Amino acid sequence: MEFRIALLQLLPEDTPEKQLEKGINACRKAREKGADLALFPEMWSSGYRIPQDRQALEVLAVPADGPFVRAFAGLAAGLQMAIGITFLEQYAPSPRNAFLLFDRNGKECLHYAKVHTCDFDEEKVLTSGRTFETAELDLGRDRVRVGSMICFDREFPESARILMLKGAEVILAPNACPMEINRLSALRTRAYENMLAVATCNYPAGQPDCNGHSTVFDGVAWLPEEAGVRDMCILEAPEEEGIYLARIDLTMLRAYRAREVMGSRYRHPASYGILTESSEKGEADRG
């Protein structure tokens, strides 16, 4: 069974109104391509603009139950296609970098806020999320369990590991940064070590500090009927703006997960205690 994901590698417009219109049109084109799900790059509502002035930041933020986000709920139901919309979310004490997934009936099934915000840069003015969650997505002909991590979350193995332990088969990863060999290798590794697919949607070249190269790694490193190893990268977009469709073979992925050795099968959680300690305590113990 295939899970068809459209990566909406789009240049942003200069207002939320134009962002909404462009996003809606892109979702319609994704459905025409046969997508089961359309995924936006990081913080689409603002085009990844994060004003450092508190008042300007609050003005740009949109509520999760407001017209911008809910427009995609109605669109998902009308198209019978899941939509993963990203937005600068109104939140207290300060806005969040958020992702909301609507299923093909327009029902909200996953609401995630970026845990590893880039506090060394503009995201220092945002509120970080607290947990990683998964949800079962109804595709009509089958179901798939998905989770989300956003951009810098990728650099922390715990993000994908927690999602795998919560049953994720596919991770949806909105992004806004230059995708080069090291970041792409991190995504490949998250897919490999957890035996799951990772679909990343980036902004194209032309957006500051972005260069396209949205990817899908399907998580299957080898097959018994094939010699050697296989390339898990089933899609790498060019730098240009576009809608890029990947087809994840869920039947193949599930068979692989049932027989292979990564993921949770041979973990030793009792040896991982330091992972749950604060950074300050860990540094003190090593000192």
What pLDDT was estimated at residue 226?
85
**What pLDDT is stored for residue 128 in this prediction?**
98
**Three-class SS of residue 32?**
helix
pLDDT tens digits along 14-28: 998 999 999 999 999
134 DSSP β-pair partners: 147
Q: How many helices (H) and strands (E) does the chain have?
A: 7, 12
End-to-end, the C-alpha distance of the chain in Å comes to 52
Q: Cis ω on the peptide bond leading into residue 93 (within 30° of 0)?
A: yes
Give the per-residue pLDDT at 278: 75
Of the candidates 245, 183, 184, 248, the one whose C-alpha atom is nearest the C-alpha of residue 8 is 245
Relative orientation angle of helices 157-165 and 181-194, to the nearest 10 degrees? 30
pLDDT confidence of residue 281? 53
d(CA 282, CA 265): 27
What letter would DSSP give residue 62?
Answer: B
Which residues in the chain land under pLDDT 70?
279-287
Residue written as token pair 């290798």: 185
